[in-house]
Amino acid sequence: MSIKKRWQFILSSLIRHRKHFMLSSIGIVTGIMAFSFFWALSAGVSQVVLGEIFPVKTLEVVPRSLGVNVGPIQLGLGADALTQKSVTAIQAVPNVTKVYPKMKVTTPMVGVGGKKYLGNDLQIEILAEGIDPGLVAGDVDSQFKFEATPVSAPLQSCKTDLQCGDNGYCYDAPNLSWRYQNLNPGFAYCRHYIPVLASQHLVEIFNGVVRRAHDFPKLNPQFVIGYDWDIILGSSVVRRSEASKKYHYKVRLVGFSDQAMWLGLTFPLPVVQKFNTLFHGAEAAQTFHSVTVKVDRKDQIAAVSQKIEQLGFDIKDSGAARASFIILVTTLVFLVISLIIVGVAAVNIMHVYFMLIYERQVEIGLMRALGAKRSDIRWVILGEAGLVGIMSGIVGVVLALLSSQVIDYISRYYVPDFPYKPSSYFVFDAGVVVTAVLLSVGFCMLGAYFPASRAAKVDPARVLTGQ
Amino acid sequence: MEAISLVVVGHLKKNYQPKQCILNDVNLRIEDAEFVAITGKSGSGKTTLLNIIGGLDSDYEGQVEVAGKVLSTLSDDELSAYRNSHVGFVFQSFHLMPHLSCLENVLLPSAFNQGKAVETAFTQQALALLAMVGVAEKAHEFPNCLSGGQQQRVAIARALLMQPKLLLCDEPTGSLDDESAGDIIQLFAKLNAEQGMTIVVVTHDADVALKATRTIHLRQCGVMEEGQCL
């Protein structure tokens, strides 16, 4: 039988027995809906958790230390920093693409600013670290640069910020920077803003928690890029921590990065080296508090981690592995439940087909008597099941999509904001749709396989002449 | 000149259950262009014999040869092709598909044809056959709008579509009133006389047997008595 004729038989049969097929496909539709719903939910949650909360593209290596508890104090034993030699050793580990040292600012720092957006200036203690600009090159807004601040030389005197260009400001302060402290107070000159990066976590915590306590407006992360404020190095809200020297700078937010410090600001590494040298001498610029290790592929992370630990370093637990595991297990549980629903539906389809074939045995017998091969009968039945599968799969995915829209709508308008609240909890990509439809077709055809084989064996002599 | 045997049945045995004798050592020849009526009591094996000749039943002992084809040597697919192009079936219950029009019912065997005949050629042939059996005006109507006699005519047109050598009819008048049955018998006689169609009819109807050129009477276990009808 030609393919065209086969499809004519299939469509004719589907139209004639549409009620049976609709009833039998309810189970498949439900199962496929559950399957694609949970898959898309898992993908959406993974995107937020592993893409924003725990980005797992890199490893954070820290010195190995042992904490000994003495009353309320924990004493750290072992190294507290990584040397250049450590960096070289880690760089030599196979499959490590690049190593980026990080250095914490070891002097207190206070930030002042925010009036432009918040109505009042905030004064808060700032934690900060320095990072290799190469690690975050892709995260910096295109109109800015993330590099050690160049200094105009000879210094250009000024009276207003406009005289200092887009990336500079007119600095006139009683305490000049460490580089220029020999200059006379009152001499105003142009300086560049120090570029800083922030983590999305910071905005999430501000929008989710801090703003509520202080009745501040919610911040739009993209809008605050380019915003500047003051920092006073050596100053602290903890009085006894204040340094004898204080230095005043202006910083400018140039982007957000997954690699940036969660609760603090991230400077170009050379800037932090200069800060630390200023307070602790030249040696302070030679040791690092951690290194970020980039690996060729995600699946090499476990092996690289093991090698680095064998070298005597620790891998900082970002929580990503545990989060990833929990998501994976939860997803698997729901997918298995969905597959059980689809499987039960396939059994239901089998029963419906056995019943239909009993009803249609004269028709099938006649087709055999008129020249249909067994394979023709088998393929007509399987084709019907395949078509029911395609339609059930599409309906299941559409229902899952509609359900996700309802949930997103409820979340958007009726669920209070919380950190990392996504605009959508679901990611429906082509993979979900194709897999769901293929699964539906597969289970429908599986359910119809035995009935199709039985139909192919219908004895035309018995059903047509009663012999 | 010796007639050509279209059907040759040799030492045919068929039992449905052990010790239940249906056909036992049946030997039969049907020549080309014969109109044969097979009669006998219920259970004498008439329909079973027809099914075996038609390739609907392949579970038997002995040899059945139709148009030079030994049916027991054919694969299932070859038997399907044989049923499609060498024989036409007419059943007591017509077995028209209710969801198809009369024309579509007649065209049904062409769907299973392995040849490269054009669909329009089959359609022309089907319309011509409907005209020949006298139901041309019913071509686009559904079977449930037709009388029993008209439905059987459509079934005969369907059986003739693939221009078979052999027409096998199982009680073709069994569900019809006398007038319709007479018309159908006339149609068979006309097909046989004018087109030389070989027709084998299983029947209880004495009128059908009278119209046949040869009658085979089956007794218990397929014991045959032959009679020549005028």
**Interface predicted TM-score (ipTM) of this complex, two decimals:** 0.90
**Nearest CA-CA partner of B95 in B172, B35, B9:** B172
- Are both A261 and A393 inside the same structural domain? no
Probe site for chain B from A12, A370, A378 (most B CB atoms < 10 A): A370
Ramachandran category for residue A228: left, alpha or beta (phi over 0 → left; psi -120 to 50 → alpha): beta
Average predicted confidence (pLDDT) for chain B: 85
What percentage of chain A exceeds 90 in pLDDT? 23
Mean pLDDT along residues A128-138: 90
Query: What pLDDT, on a 0 to 100 scale, did the predictor assign at position B52?
Result: 92
**A-B Cβ pairs (cutoff 8 Å, strict):** 72
Is residue A360 a part of any domain in this protein?
Answer: yes
Is residue A173 a part of any domain in this protein?
Answer: no
User: Is 60 exceeded by the pLDDT of residue B229?
Assistant: no
Is residue A179 a part of any domain in this protein?
Answer: no
Strands A228-233 and A109-113: antiparallel
**Nearest CA-CA partner of A262 in A324, A322, A204, A326:** A204
* Residue A271 binned pLDDT confidence (cut-offs 50, 70, 90): very high
DSSP string, A440-454: HHHHHHHHHHHHHHH
Is residue A110 a part of any domain in this protein?
Answer: yes
- Are both A95 and A240 inside the same structural domain? yes
A98 pairs with which residues across the strands?
A294
In chain B, residues 110-129 whose CB comes closer than 8 Å to chain A? 111-113
A17 → chain B, closest CA residue: B99
User: Is 90 exceeded by the pLDDT of residue A92?
Assistant: yes
Mean pLDDT along residues A385-409: 93
- Are both A437 and A299 inside the same structural domain? no
Query: What pLDDT, on a 0 to 100 scale, did the predictor assign at position A269?
Result: 93
Is residue A29 a part of any domain in this protein?
Answer: yes
Quote the number of domains for chain A.
2
User: Is 90 exceeded by the pLDDT of residue B178?
Assistant: no
Query: What pLDDT, on a 0 to 100 scale, did the predictor assign at position A54?
Result: 66
**Domain finish residue from A286, A317, A348:** A317
Q: What is the pLDDT of residues B101-133, one digit of tens each?
A: 999 999 999 888 876 667 788 898 899 889 888
Is residue A383 a part of any domain in this protein?
Answer: yes
Q: How far is B188 from chain A (nearest CA, A)?
A: 20
- H, E, C per residue of B36-61: EEEEECCCCCHHHHHHHHCCCCCCCE
Cβ of B56 within 8 Å of Cβ of A460? The answer is yes
Least confident of A86-95, A105-114, A133-142, A235-244: A235-244
Domain annotation for chain B: domains and CATH numbers:
1-86+165-230 (3.40.50.300), 94-163 (no CATH)
Q: How far is B3 from chain A (nearest CA, A)?
A: 29
- Are both A215 and A117 inside the same structural domain? yes
DSSP string, A57-118: SEEEEEE-EEEEEETTEEEEEE--SB-HHHHHHHHTSTTEEEEEEEEE--S-EEEEE-HHHH
- Are both A342 and A416 inside the same structural domain? yes
What percentage of chain A exceeds 70 in pLDDT? 89
Query: What pLDDT, on a 0 to 100 scale, did the predictor assign at position A1?
Result: 75
- Are both A360 and A391 inside the same structural domain? yes
Q: What is the pLDDT of residues B157-174, one digit of tens each?
A: 999 888 888 999 998 888
* Residue A93 binned pLDDT confidence (cut-offs 50, 70, 90): very high
Query: What pLDDT, on a 0 to 100 scale, did the predictor assign at position B155?
Result: 92
Is residue A357 a part of any domain in this protein?
Answer: yes
Q: For residue A373, give the nearest of B47, B77, B99 by CB distance.
A: B77
For residue A453, the enclosing domain spans: 3-54+323-465
- Are both A236 and A337 inside the same structural domain? no
Q: What is the pLDDT of residues A137-189, one digit of tens each?
A: 888 998 898 988 765 455 678 888 888 888 888 877 544 444 444 445 566 78
**Nearest CA-CA partner of A254 in A167, A127, A141:** A141
**Domain finish residue from A317, A351, A374:** A317
Higher pLDDT, A333 or B116: A333
Query: What pLDDT, on a 0 to 100 scale, did the predictor assign at position A198?
Result: 93
Residues of B in contact with A375 (CB under 8 A): 77
* Residue B228 binned pLDDT confidence (cut-offs 50, 70, 90): very low
User: Is 80 exceeded by the pLDDT of residue A116?
Assistant: no
Q: What is the pLDDT of residues B187-215, one digit of tens each?
A: 888 888 888 889 999 988 777 788 888 88
Query: What pLDDT, on a 0 to 100 scale, did the predictor assign at position B222?
Result: 60
- Are both A352 and A243 inside the same structural domain? no
Q: How far is A463 from chain B (nearest CA, A)?
A: 10
**Nearest CA-CA partner of A328 in A29, A58, A59, A56:** A56
Query: What pLDDT, on a 0 to 100 scale, did the predictor assign at position B158?
Result: 92
Least confident of A98-107, A149-158, B179-188: A149-158
Q: What is the pLDDT of residues A30-53, one digit of tens each?
A: 889 988 998 898 888 877 776 666
* Residue B220 binned pLDDT confidence (cut-offs 50, 70, 90): confident
Probe site for chain A from B86, B95, B118, B170 (most A CB atoms < 10 A): B95
B97 and chain A in contact, CB less than 8 A: yes
**Domain finish residue from A317, A346, A375:** A317
Is residue A20 a part of any domain in this protein?
Answer: yes
- Are both A242 and A367 inside the same structural domain? no
Higher pLDDT, B205 or A273: A273
User: Is 70 exceeded by the pLDDT of residue A77?
Assistant: no
Cβ of B51 within 8 Å of Cβ of A9? The answer is no
B85 and chain A in contact, CB less than 8 A: yes
Average predicted confidence (pLDDT) for chain A: 84
Q: Are residues B58 and B173 in contact, defined by beta-carbon separation less than 8 angstroms? A: no
- Are both A402 and A449 inside the same structural domain? yes
- Are both A131 and A272 inside the same structural domain? yes
Q: Count of CB atoms within 10 A of residue B31's CB?
A: 15
- Are both A139 and A118 inside the same structural domain? yes
User: Is 70 exceeded by the pLDDT of residue B32?
Assistant: yes
Strands B214-218 and A128-131: unpaired
Query: What pLDDT, on a 0 to 100 scale, did the predictor assign at position B185?
Result: 87
Residues of A in contact with B85 (CB under 8 A): 371
